[in-house]
Structure formats: C-alpha cells, structure tokens
Amino acid sequence: MSRDTQNDDQDCLELFHRALEQCDELAWECIQQRYRSIMLHWLRRHPQKKMANRFESEENYVALGFERFWQATACNRHIRFNTLAAVMDYLRASLNSAVLDTLRTYARPHLVHLPYDGDAHKLSREDQDDQHKVWEMIQDLLTNERERRVAYLLYHCGLKPRQMLHYCPQEFNDVHEIYRIQRNILERLVRNADIIHWRLST
C-alpha cells in the first residue's frame, strides 16, 4: 500500500471517528455523501437484490443501512474502529441487516392476536395509558418543533419515513432528511434513557 493510500485511509478513518465519537453532524453528512455510491454498489451485488427491490427503493435501503450503522456505533464507547477496512465491514453488515430484516418483515404472516374477551377492555385501557405516558415524555424531551412533528408521525401515527414522505410531501425534502431528524430524536432519547426508565416505573 502506498503512502498516499495510507494517508487517505487515515483521513477517512478520522472522519468516521469525528462523526461517531464526537457525534459531529457535518462529518456524518460528509460520510453519507462520500460512501453512498459504495453502499449502492454493495446493494446491487446483494444476492437478494431482486427480491429486495420489490419492497423498498435502493435509496431507502442505503438510508436504512446508514441509520443502522449510526444507531449501533455513534457515541458508543465500546466500539472503536482501528482500520478503515473494519469500518467498511461494519457498514456493509449494517446494509445487509437492513435488507434481510425488510425481507423478513414482508415474508412474515400478518397475524393479529386478540386478547381474551374478559381482558379486552382492561388491556386496551392499559395500553392506551402507557402510550399516552410515553408520548408525553417524548414531547417533554423534544424542544424542536420539527423533531416533535417527526416523532408524532413515527410513534403516534406509526408511519415509516418513506410513508411520511408519501403522505406529507410538502413537509420534507427527501427521506434522508426524515432519517436525520429520526436519528436526532433517538440520540436525545438514548441520552435521557435513565429519566425515561424512572418515569415509566413510577
């Protein structure tokens, strides 16, 4: 390996460290722009490509892959990459996981398990109370109105990012914007996990 190649790899690795360890938003956006074409290349060579393309677009799989990679590694002190090759392996595994989980979801029978008649009203009321409590906590933690809107569509309405773009096209530029906001929401919830756990247990 030439010295120039080594320097390039080290610069790229440093970019990942800034994004993941320092949660640098600009570095993360640069990574997505720089490695999007590689993710597309991997996706187009995936053995389940034809089946996967029936359910989601290539852009969505790439966005999901980046999202999974971020959720597993960002601000996680237990994960540190020493080589660019290790980062690429993890990124590829995140994309593969997004593809396989999507295929499993669509292959799974959509069964609805109803509660026993005697418990139906009780369970429904408990579920509603829990959902209301969780939703109130999320609203308290999110001070940004845009994040609150995405959280509402995600957790209250049960919409996926691509469904949000479909039903609310005037509100978002593209699916990547929604995933970025969702990532910010998840980071905030993770940082406040202890508070959430305490409030749910009281």
CB neighbours of residue 129 within 10 Å: 10
Q: Is the pLDDT of residue 40 over 80?
A: yes
What's the start-to-end Cα distance of the chain, in Å? 58
pLDDT at position 42 is 96
pLDDT at site 95: 93
Parse the chain into domains and list their residue ranges.
3-107, 117-201
What pLDDT, on a 0 to 100 scale, did the predictor assign at position 173?
86
Q: What is the pLDDT of residues 4-33, one digit of tens each?
A: 556 688 889 999 999 888 888 899 999 999
Alpha-helix runs per DSSP H in the chain: 3-21, 25-44, 49-52, 58-73, 84-107, 120-141, 145-151, 161-167, 175-191, 193-201
Beta carbons within 8 Å of 6's beta carbon, 6+ residues apart: none
User: Residue 122: pLDDT above 50?
Assistant: no
Look at the chain and count its residues.
202
Coil, helix or strand at residue 114: coil
Q: What is the pTM of this model?
A: 0.56
Mean pLDDT computed over 94-110 = 77
| 27 neighbors 15 (Cβ within 8 angstroms) | yes
